[in-house]
Amino acid sequence: MTVQNKAIGIIGGSGVYNIDGIELVKEHSIDTPFGQPSSPVVEARLNGVNFFFIPRHGKAHDLLPSEVNYRANIFALKLLGVEYVISVSAVGSLKEELPPTTFVLVDQFIDWTKGRRERSFFGDGIVAHVSNANPINKKLQSILTHSCKEASVKYSENGIYICIEGPQFSTRAESNLYKGMGASVIGMTNVPEAFLAKEAGMAYATIAMVTDFDAWKDEHCTIDEILKVMAENNKNAQGVIKIALANLNSDKFDVEKENRIGVMTPEEKWTPSQKEIMSTLLA
């Protein structure tokens, strides 16, 4: 297993494989205390920058949002020394000013899932409370903002991502409810992913790619139109990632480990297996 200091991780769609110039270095099959990740973790190199990648829904895109093992994905990246996690995901827009092909660099989340997802590394004898007041790392978000600007991609900085259970899309009534709550975009995957990254002491930031207006807007889109938007988003994401990797590699900032001050249960009460897990999370 290759463990790198302050490594970069990307969680997203399989389009990452298609970035021009990418070199696949190795696949890491990792068994975590929380089960298997969505797929083996791919170690890749792009323009001399190494990073680790997990296709969130699996290589064959065969995992529903609630079937993704978010804990295993984050823990596997942590085992590999990942300090910075860039999340790439498709979303619907809840605002007129955020049309399709806009990249929204959100800074807040609303959890509207329904309890089917394992959402914490803690429990079973270890009590910990980690602040999620600021779930997005502002420094990493800033790097993504400048990378979008360099790539000449239409973007919007800040915003609220509401995460629903899925796999069904919203009803119009639900969509209008979320819009009234002040949410900017709607998706199905960034919770509990973002919260788990915080529990693991990692910097996390999201590129939310708008594919369509959600059900609140009475606007019909054909499958061809949606596929065209998705293709453009994937192309733009590849350009942003290429720039972001270079920018982040040249500025591997220190990450504040808020998880280290959230553990309430004394260490002498931890079991040997819990000590092993905690040594990874708190590293």
Q: Which residue has the tokens 């959230």?
A: 262
Q: E-strand spans in 151-228?
A: 155-157, 160-164, 185-187, 203-213
Q: How far apart are CA 69 and CA 73, in angstroms?
A: 6
Two tokens at 47?
């323009």
Active-site annotation holds for 212: yes
Q: Confirm if 160 and 182 have CB atoms less than 8 A apart.
A: yes
Catalytic residue among 20, 111, 212, 251: 212
Catalytic residue among 20, 111, 124, 214: 214
Two tokens at 51?
């990073």
Active-site annotation holds for 214: yes
CB atoms within 10 A of CB 195: 21
Q: Which residue has the tokens 């969509």?
A: 175
DSSP 263: B
- Catalytic machinery residues: 212, 214
